[in-house]
Amino acid sequence: MGNNDQEIGMLAVLEQDLEQRDFVILIDKKYSEYLTELLCTSTALKKTKKQLSILSTTEFPGQMGKHLYRKISEEEMDLLLQLYRTYEVSDRILLFSVDPNYGSMWNYVKSGIASQEEILQAMLL
């Protein structure tokens, strides 16, 4: 993991976001550009009544409305992903990834059963 000050800082950010938002979304850095653009330009994000905090290693220049968007470093994302995968911190932290190593709702998109927008809408309900 990162140094102790960095860990404490990221935990404080995560705690603050969980207090102020309905969900925190971590966007897998391996697919960051694709998923950030897909999520941040989706109709589902605009329609959801939930307030989200979105953490990504990719810059997103668009408007987020009621949602909070944070660009974080790859090292910070590694720390958060390690915490996410190691501990059950909260059921309000969501990992957005299309990694084929993990079963996910994105398999429905690949098989043609659902559209990307339908999957995003289901994830953000």
What does pTM read for this prediction? Answer: 0.81
Give a yes or no: residue 91 inside a domain: yes
- What's the pLDDT score for residue 96? 81
SS3 of 47, please? helix
109 within domain boundaries: no
Q: How far from 91 is each of 21, 24, 28, CA to CA, in Å?
A: 13, 10, 17
The count of other CB atoms within 10 Å of the CB of residue 9 is 14
Query: Do the domain assignments include residue 119?
Result: no
Rounded to the nearest angstrom, the gap between the alpha carbon of residue 38 and the centroid of all alpha carbons in its chain is 12
What is the residue range of 64's domain?
4-97
Residue 71 lies in a domain: yes
Q: pLDDT (tens digit, 0 to 9) for every residue of the chain, 125 residues total? A: 456 787 788 888 888 999 999 999 998 888 888 888 888 888 888 888 999 999 999 987 666 778 888 899 999 999 888 888 777 667 888 888 877 665 677 778 888 898 888 888 887 77
Q: How many domains does the chain fold into?
A: 1
Q: Is residue 30 part of a domain?
A: yes
> What span, in angstroms and rounded, lies between the C-alpha atoms of 102 and 121?
20
Identify whether 103 is part of a domain: no
